[in-house]
Amino acid sequence: MTTITPPRMTPTAHRILDTAAGLFYEHGLRAVGVERIAEEADTTKKTIYDRFGSKDGLITAYLRQRCDRWHEYATAYVEEHHPEPGTGRVLAVLDALASWMAVNSRGCGFVNAYAELAGTGHDGLPIIAEEKIWTRDYYIGLLTELDIPDAERRGREVALVHEGAIVQLTAGAQPEAMADARALVGRLVAEGVSARDAAEGTVG
């Protein structure tokens, strides 16, 4: 029986993961060797393999951490800037993204990882899909809060714009992409609100 042991996050393991996360995002997964991670984390390859088992294990831990951090960042941003119910909460997610992208100027770390992992059976692939689905469902939830009809479909549409903005901003070298996305999502939300009010007028 082979049981997969999750990495025991000792202080050095934390340092390793943070260092690896920075290098993986900034240069790509295959472009960064384990030896370089050890050097920059001021530790040894031995310790890395003791804690994470393999480079693939470290990559998986990186994606898991990045996934969790984005979720926390986005929700914290929305709750801080728009705690009260309203359409502003939806746009706040895009503002969170803009703020996130200001520091992460190399595009979406998950899309970038997908570029190197797709086709392999890597354990990180489900995490990549999870992040995309989480963001989509976050939009859906915020639209549902507003009692907007077809919140699922509209949430998926907003998520499309969200992902497209990242691509156009980075790979497409189009600085106006985020502003365009914000304007478009604003119109989509307004469209949903109008549909809701029209339906309420009919039903109630």
- Confirm or reject binding of residue 133 to its own copies (CB under 8 A): yes
Q: Which of 22, 28, 40, 55 binds DNA (CB under 7 A)?
A: 55
Residues 6+ apart with CB under 8 A from 186: 91
- Confirm or reject binding of residue 99 to DNA (CB under 7 A): no
Q: Which of 6, 18, 30, 187 binds DNA (CB under 7 A)?
A: 30
Residue 39, binding choice from its own copies, DNA, none, Cβ under 5 to 8 Å by partner class: none
Whole-angstrom distance, CA of residue 78 vs CA of residue 93: 6
- Confirm or reject binding of residue 21 to DNA (CB under 7 A): no
Chain centroid offset of residue 122 CA: 18
Query: Which of 51/131 has CB closer to its own copies?
Result: 131
Whole-angstrom distance, CA of residue 9 vs CA of residue 54: 15
DSSP letters for 26-93: HH-STTS-HHHHHHHTTS-HHHHHHHHSSHHHHHHHHHHHHHHHHHHHHHHHHHHH--SSSTHHHHHH
- Confirm or reject binding of residue 4 to DNA (CB under 7 A): no
Whole-angstrom distance, CA of residue 49 vs CA of residue 150: 48
Check residue 120 and report its DSSP letter.
S
Q: Which of 81, 164, 186, 196 binds its own copies (CB under 8 A)?
A: 164
Distance in Å, CB of 14 to its own copies, minimum:
25
Residue 90, binding choice from DNA, its own copies, none, Cβ under 5 to 8 Å by partner class: none
Angle at 159 between CA 127 and CA 121, to 5 degrees: 25
Chain positions contacting its own copies, by CB under 8 A: 26-28, 30-31, 106-108, 110-116, 118-119, 128-129, 132-133, 136, 153, 156-157, 159-168, 170-174, 176-177, 180-181, 183-184
Chain positions contacting DNA, by CB under 7 A: 8, 10-13, 30, 32-36, 42-47, 49-51, 54-56
